[in-house]
């Protein structure tokens, strides 16, 4: 199927147009997956052999506890984890033991390790977890370090408030997946240990018989080391030698792609929040879904706004229709196309696919420098090279006219704004941006034809659109009546998510007195006719606020 308005271009640009199927060839075959799982299981069993040899010297060692609670996952190396999990479970009361499991302790440990990683990292598959664990010699925290490096998650700290909550839940998932005798006890002993972990490691390595979980016994051990368990675990992971680049043969294209798509989604939500409500409802929603891509010389949010305003000016919609809701699928479509455009630009500029995806993760999908009075794209070559790269991006992103957009972005757009757009725009701001684009009053329709796509094409479920819009407005009216004031105005509704147990809607609400944009996520059951009572809305309203011009997600 031909791309819209596609014209012949330099071969270099065509050769590096990113396509959806480009990452599918990197999926491992079932034979490879099974082989890697078998190799990982062999490493885990080696850890059990070493742990059993050291536990044989402990007077508190119980075979039944070892077979039930001696799992290889935790905050230390696999062998020490097995010993620690066995010893801390030795003082459990009989009624807390749910029954001794079978002897497949190594297989259960593998299940727990995989469950931990697939919960903690989004878009992580089982075979990806096995591969990282294999590279890390079954060391859970070191495997996390490798994932953090590959996903360019910076800054990242295991002891941050967000990470602590996720670690607790991930440990519980691992304990349940591995059928631990008392999952709550396992989580508690790792995150709230009676003795500091570094002290426990010293005792296990020097005199295992001195290991005790008795608080009175521990009180005689002298001053307590203050390093938190997660801090100690993360330091331990970074004390290990870093793998040479030749050892890491795996490139997580698919998971990196999903992480980038999630990041791009936040850019679009922010761009929607910053655009003026009137223009957004009447025309910009259509122009954004057609050509409001997030690639360009500025930060992604500014690029979306600039590209949307430009396309709406040179190719205004053939009909204006007031819509206060954007279809989820339509928003996801432009987000995916932006991703293809970003990668195609970088690959056309000389980067390999994996290098391009890492670049986007590191720099949050920003292609050029945003310093004022300079060409933000100077690092990517001259204007002609950038033109071909942006044309390749436009073709990959299904832009209505890749050539016109490439010419606009590569030649003039770097002079439009000096700073990041991070405050809500009004009509006057949009008019100033438009005049800068065209060095005076624009003449619509010069380079592109009027947008001819009928509105129903962009909104596949108009009946649901009407129903959801009525529910949101009714909830807002109920809230205003309950509080005897109209504090919030509806900005836009960002679609429906059918992949959850109920429907979900993201509302963007504007406070006309403080100009604070707030995203809200409200759930209700599909079978219910009315939205949940207004008290839940009131609770969500008061949960979180942000500074003027910023946006947040209230869950």
C-beta separation of 489 from 277 below 8 A: yes
C-beta separation of 409 from 297 below 8 A: yes
Judged by average pLDDT, the poorest of 124-133, 176-185, 321-330, 518-527 is 518-527
How far is 212 from 366, CA to CA, in rounded Å? Answer: 53
Q: What's the pLDDT tens digit per position in 152-198?
A: 887 777 777 778 889 999 999 999 999 998 899 899 989 887 678 88
Q: At residue 119, does pLDDT exceed 90?
A: yes
The full DSSP string for 410-464 is HHTGGGS-SS---S---HHHHHHHHHHHHTSS--TTSSSPPB---HHHH-S-HHH
Q: Which residue has the higher pLDDT, 505 or 393?
A: 393
Q: In what order do the strands lie in the sheet with 502-510?
A: 489-496, 502-510, 517-525, 553-554
**141-148 long-range Cβ contacts below 8 angstroms, 24+ apart:** 141/75, 141/76, 141/233, 141/234, 141/236, 141/237, 142/237, 142/240, 143/113, 143/117, 144/117, 144/120, 144/237, 145/234, 145/237, 145/238, 146/243, 146/248, 147/117, 147/121
Domain ranges of the chain: 23-91+101-239, 253-438
How far is 255 from 309, CA to CA, in rounded Å? Answer: 32
Q: What's the pLDDT tens digit per position in 343-355?
A: 999 999 888 888 8
Q: What's the pLDDT tens digit per position in 233-262?
A: 888 888 887 765 555 567 788 888 999 999
Q: Which residue has the higher pLDDT, 33 or 527?
A: 33
- Between CA 392 and CA 397, with CA 396 as vertex, the angle to 5 degrees is 115
Q: Residue with structure tokens 């009714």?
A: 474
Which of 210, 180, 188 is closest to 70 using CA atoms? 180
SS3 489: strand
SS (H, E, C) 283-323: HHHHHHHHHCCCCCCCCHHHHHHHHHHHHHHHCCECCCCCC
Q: At residue 541, does pLDDT exceed 50?
A: no
Q: Of 382-386, 479-483, 524-528, 533-537, which has the strongest mean pLDDT?
A: 382-386
C-beta separation of 209 from 57 below 8 A: yes
pLDDT of residue 484: 67
């Amino acid at each position: 199927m031909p791309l819209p308005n596609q014209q012949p271009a330099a071969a270099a640009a065509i050769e590096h147009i990113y396509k959806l199927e480009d990452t599918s060839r990197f999926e491992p075959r079932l034979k490879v997956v099974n082989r890697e799982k078998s190799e990982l299981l062999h490493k885990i069993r080696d850890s059990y052999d070493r742990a059993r040899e050291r536990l044989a010297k402990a007077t508190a060692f119980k075979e039944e506890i070892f077979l039930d609670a001696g799992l290889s996952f935790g905050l230390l190396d696999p062998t020490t984890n097995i010993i620690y999990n066995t010893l801390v479970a030795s003082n459990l009361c009989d009624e807390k033991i749910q029954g001794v499991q079978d002897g497949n302790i190594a297989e259960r440990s593998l299940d727990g390790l995989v469950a931990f990683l697939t919960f903690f990292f989004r878009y992580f598959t089982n075979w990806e977890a096995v591969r990282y664990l294999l590279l890390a010699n079954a060391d859970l925290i070191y495997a996390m370090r490798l994932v953090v490096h590959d996903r360019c998650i910076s800054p990242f700290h295991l002891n941050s408030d967000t990470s602590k909550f996720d670690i607790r839940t991930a440990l519980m998932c691992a304990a349940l997946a591995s059928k631990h005798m008392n999952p709550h006890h396992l989580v508690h002993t790792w995150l709230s240990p009676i003795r500091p972990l570094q002290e426990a490691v010293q005792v296990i390595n020097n005199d295992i018989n001195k290991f005790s979980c008795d608080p009175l016994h521990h009180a005689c051990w002298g001053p307590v080391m203050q390093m938190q368990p997660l801090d100690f675990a993360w330091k331990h992971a970074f004390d290990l030698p870093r793998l040479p680049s030749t050892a890491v043969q795996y490139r997580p294209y698919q998971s990196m792609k999903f992480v980038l798509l999630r990041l791009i989604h936040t850019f679009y939500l922010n761009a929607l929040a910053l655009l003026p409500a009137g223009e957004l409802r009447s025309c910009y929603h259509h122009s954004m879904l057609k050509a409001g891509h997030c690639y360009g010389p500025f930060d992604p949010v500014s690029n979306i706004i600039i590209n949307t305003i430009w396309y709406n000016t040179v190719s205004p919609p053939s009909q204006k229709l007031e819509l206060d809701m954007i279809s989820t699928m339509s928003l996801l479509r432009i987000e995916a196309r932006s991703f293809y455009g970003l990668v195609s630009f970088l690959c056309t500029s000389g980067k390999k696919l994996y290098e391009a995806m890492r670049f986007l993760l590191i720099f949050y999908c920003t292609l050029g420098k945003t310093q004022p009075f300079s060409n933000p794209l100077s690092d990517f070559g001259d204007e002609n090279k950038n033109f071909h790269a942006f044309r390749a991006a436009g073709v990959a992103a299904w832009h209505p006219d890749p050539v016109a957009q490439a010419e606009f972005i590569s030649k003039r757009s770097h002079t439009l704004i000096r700073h990041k757009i991070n405050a809500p725009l009004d009509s006057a701001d949009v008019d100033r941006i438009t005049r800068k684009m065209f060095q005076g009053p624009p003449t619509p329709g010069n380079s592109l034809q009027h947008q001819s796509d009928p509105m129903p094409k962009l909104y596949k479920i108009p009946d649901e659109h009407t129903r959801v819009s009525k529910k949101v407005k009714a909830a807002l009216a109920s809230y205003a009546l309950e509080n005897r004031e109209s504090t919030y105005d509806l900005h836009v509704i960002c679609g429906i998510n059918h992949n959850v147990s109920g429907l979900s809607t993201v509302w963007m609400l504007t406070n006309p007195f403080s100009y604070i944009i707030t995203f809200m996520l409200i759930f209700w059951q599909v079978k219910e006719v009315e939205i949940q009572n207004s008290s839940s809305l009131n609770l969500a309203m008061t949960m979180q606020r942000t500074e003027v011009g910023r946006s947040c997600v209230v869950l």
